[in-house]
Structures are given as structure tokens and as C-alpha cells.
Amino acid sequence: MTPKRRVGLFGGTFDPPHLGHLIAAETVCETLGLDEVLWIPAGSPPHRAAGPCASAPVRLRMVATAIQGNPAFRIWAGETEREGPSYTIDTVRTLRAQGYAEDSLSLIVGADQFQVFSTWKEHGTLRELVRLAVVSRDGEGGPPEAGEAGIDPVPIPRIDISSSDIRRRRRERRSIRYLVPEGVHRIVEDEDLYV
Ligand code: ATP
Ligand code: MG
């Protein structure tokens, strides 16, 4: 029997994707020896108000550009094909029905999200379906104890870049060069995003 493939699930708004995302995903991939990391852009809420600033198609293009050239990174558009935010349990069920049934799935979550994990929809079932790769930047409180069943703590380097800071810089007409890959930079400028 061939060994199970190990697949990481990396969800986010990716509005826009930046080097912090790429370094985090690469570190998890290397640390856990994953065969693949699926980047899963979140769906857009039906009303723009508190939702992402860039449309789903543009965020998909930016993620595709950002991960280009890394053979272990793939994009999965399933959450953007429906309006509104998706529950992780539904995404995992969809993936398992779409060819990932035989794989070991590792959900990549921040230490902060891990602390409120018990509020997630069907969290008990979710824990039976996926492992949790809990990433924490050094100094960040509350990473899980090593050795807890189904949980892989992954220390990652502290890269102080966020999408909200990038959007703020754009509003203030400041540079975002080198915070995002060159191809993402080009899309942000061509589409006049976040200004
Ligand atoms: P925003 O500032 O709008 O919240 P963000 O930069 O946090 O955006 P998201 O798309 O919300 O980006 O993040 C997706 C995932 O990547 C989340 O789990 C988030 O914790 C993680 N992440 C974001 N920025 C970093 C970073 N600099 N280093 C490590 N992980 C990050
Ligand atoms: Mg965030």
C-alpha cells in the first residue's frame, strides 16, 4: 500500500497574499514533511461592508501568482464558488468527496484560532477528520503541548507583515514593494486595489 499523502489546508482571506503567508506555509510544509499545501481563499460575504476589499476572482489570481513555482503549493477555489464564509467542516467534507479521502489532512491554524477551536462548527467531528498544525510565532502565548493526539505544534519565524497593513499602506499611497511577491504587486497596481 502506498503511504498516505500528507496535505496541509491553509485558509485565509488573502486580501492580498503576502510574504508572511508564504513563509508560514513553507515552514509548515518543511517541518511536517507535507506533500502538498492547499491554499484556500475564503468566500466573499454577500454584502461588501466588512468583507474582503478585492473580489474573489482577483484574490484567486493573486494567490495563484504568489504560489507559482512552488510544486507543493496548490490553490483550491471551492470556498469562493459559494457566496459567504464557509465552515471548515463543510470544506473538509467537500475535499474528502473530491479526491482527498485517502490523504492525511492537516489544518493550519494560528495559536489564537486554536484557543477558540471549541467554538467551531462540529469541532469534534472536525478533529476526527483532520490533524491540526498549530503555528505560533515565538513569544506568542498559548501553543499546545507537544504530544497531544492529532496536534502538531509548528514554530514559525515572526514576520511582521499583514494584509491589513498592506491595505493601509495603499490608502496612504505608501510602498508595498517586497512585502508581497512581484506578481502580486503588479496585480495590486494594475487593478488599483485598496486605494
Ligand atoms: P488581515 O490583516 O486582513 O487580518 P492577514 O495578513 O492576517 O490579514 P489572512 O488572509 O487573514 O491574512 O491570513 C490567513 C492566515 O495566515 C491566518 O491563519 C493568519 O494568522 C496567517 N498569517 C497572516 N499573516 C501572517 C504572518 N505574517 N506570519 C504568519 N502567519 C500569518
Ligand atoms: Mg488576520
Ligand 1 nearest-atom number relative to CA 162: 6
The answer to whether 49 touches 97, Cβ cutoff 8 Å, is no
Q: Is the pLDDT of residue 49 over 70?
A: no
- Taking the complete model, does pTM exceed 0.85, yes or no? yes
Q: Are 41 and 75 in contact (CB under 8 A)?
A: yes
Taking the C-alpha atoms of residue 106 and residue 150, their distance in angstroms, rounded to an integer, is 9
6 neighbors 35 (Cβ within 8 angstroms): yes
Q: What is the per-residue pLDDT across 177-189, written as a single tens digit (0 to 9) for each? A: 999 999 999 999 9
Residue found by looking up cell 504568489 in the block:
66
Say whether pLDDT at 48 is over 70.
no
- Looking up cell 459559494, which residue turns up? 82
Task: Using alpha carbons, select from 58, 70, 6, 50 the residue that is nearest to residue 193.
Answer: 58
Task: State which H helix or E strand residue 66 sits in.
Answer: helix 56-67
Phi-psi region of 173 (alpha: psi -120 to 50; beta: other; left: phi over 0): left
Position 3 confidence tier, pLDDT thresholds 50, 70, 90: confident
Tens of pLDDT, residue by residue over 95-121, are: 999 999 999 999 999 998 999 999 999
pLDDT of residue 195: 93
Confirm or reject: Cβ of 159 under 6 Å from ligand 1.
yes
Residue 24 beta carbon below 6 angstroms from any ligand 1 atom = yes
Quickly state the pLDDT bin for 147 (edges 50, 70, 90). confident
Q: Which three cell numbers stand for residue 74?
A: 496548490
* Interval 162-173 mean pLDDT: 96
Q: Which helix (H) or strand (E) holds 105?
A: strand 104-110
Pocket of ligand 1 contains residue 19 by CB under 6 Å: no
Q: Is the pLDDT of residue 193 over 80?
A: yes
pLDDT band at 83 (very low <50, low <70, confident <90, very high): confident
Phi, psi of 22 (to 5 degrees): -65, -40
